[in-house]
Amino acid sequence: MTIYDIAKMSGVSIATVSRVLNGSDRVSEKTRKRVHAVIEEVGYTPNIFAQGLGLNTMHTIGILVPTIDDTYMANAVAYLQWFLSQHNYDCLLSCSGFDAEGKKAQTEMLLSKHIDALIYVGSTYAGNGKDDSVTDYIREAAKQVPVFIINGNVKGDNIFASVCDDEKAVYTAAMSLLERGRKNLYFLSDSHSYSANEKKKGFLCALREKKISNGKNRIIYVGNRIHSVRDQLLSIEDFDCDGIIAVNDIIAAGAVKYAVAKKLSIPDDIEIIGYNNSVVAVTSIPEITSVDNHTEEICRDTVNRIIHILSHDDVKVERKVMVSCELIQRDTTITE
């Protein structure tokens, strides 16, 4: 028994059966009862693809992340799934890795599943801001469905971005350390992604404002693993550092391990600030001061804008929404 049989037995179109299955209000009560009576009589169980026929919707949103082995990505996916479920939307999740071929291949795979919209989670999808061609696959995807990017920005029609103000957040964090007399401040990053570059800009801006030279020499690229960060910092000869800002809490935890290994007093000898306000920040000893980039708020806003677009209502959907960040003070910085 298929949706075609239900339509024939009910004397209605396939699109009408789809609307009934999806709870659309564009069906009269009389027709709705007739279709439901046939469904109950034959014991029909609809599949999700059949439900979408005639409505141009599968009530399914594709979510693409580079890896789920990351606290930020995992939290974002959890929030997105929860908010989508509140609007009766399912989600399809895929991991692309960080290379261009994987991103393009997984994008095409999700589009083949007849999704209604596509969400990219992570600034890696926004490229490095130097070569627009690396994001052409996103513009191609946007020709088929609305595309949303969390924590990154790509220019193009039918592409929407939700980002936190990383530049301002790091600028404010750096200024707080510099104004407390920190002289040897360093910025630790693991990539050249959109978000990492925005954070770096904020760091360098604070140094320039305080007339500290050689700002670029104060940027260290490290691996995104706690012990590798510790070991790399320990390997730097005559590393004189009294303040560190990291692009995420994992790297900040590595900086804490470094300080402990060097027998530095935290926060008296060295202050450390992480980013994402993740579980890593509160499980570290000492607990890490971290920038809260309001992932939950960004995910909620993303889902709300998707629903507005798919519902074809009259609400204006902003192409780019920027959310302010908040510094959460803990034990790795001096309380002001």
Q: What homologous superfamily is domain 3-52 in, according to CATH? A: lambda repressor-like DNA-binding domains (1.10.260.40)
The angle, 0 to 180 degrees and rounded to 10, between the axes of the packed helices 226-235 and 249-261 is 50
CATH 3.40.50.2300-classified regions of the chain: 60-164+294-323, 166-293
Residues 187/189/193/196 CA torsion (nearest 10 deg): -30
CATH 1.10.260.40-classified regions of the chain: 3-52
Predicted structure pTM score: 0.80
How far is residue 119's CA from residue 58's CA, in Å, rounded to a whole number?
15
Whole-number pLDDT of residue 140 = 93
Stretches in the chain below the pLDDT threshold 70: 1-4, 14-15, 24, 46-58, 128-131, 313-314, 336
The residues, ordered by sequence, that sit 6+ positions from 297 with a Cβ below 8 Å of its Cβ are 323
Whole-number pLDDT of residue 114 = 85
Level-2 CATH architecture, domain 60-164+294-323: 3-Layer(aba) Sandwich (3.40)
Whole-number pLDDT of residue 15 = 67
Which long-range contacts (C-beta less than 8 Å, at least 24 apart) are formed by 261-268?
261/230, 261/234, 262/234, 266/331, 266/332, 267/331, 267/332, 267/333, 267/334, 268/334
Level-2 CATH architecture, domain 166-293: 3-Layer(aba) Sandwich (3.40)
182-192: pLDDT as tens digits: 999 999 999 99
The residues, ordered by sequence, that sit 6+ positions from 115 with a Cβ below 8 Å of its Cβ are 58, 60, 61, 62, 92, 145
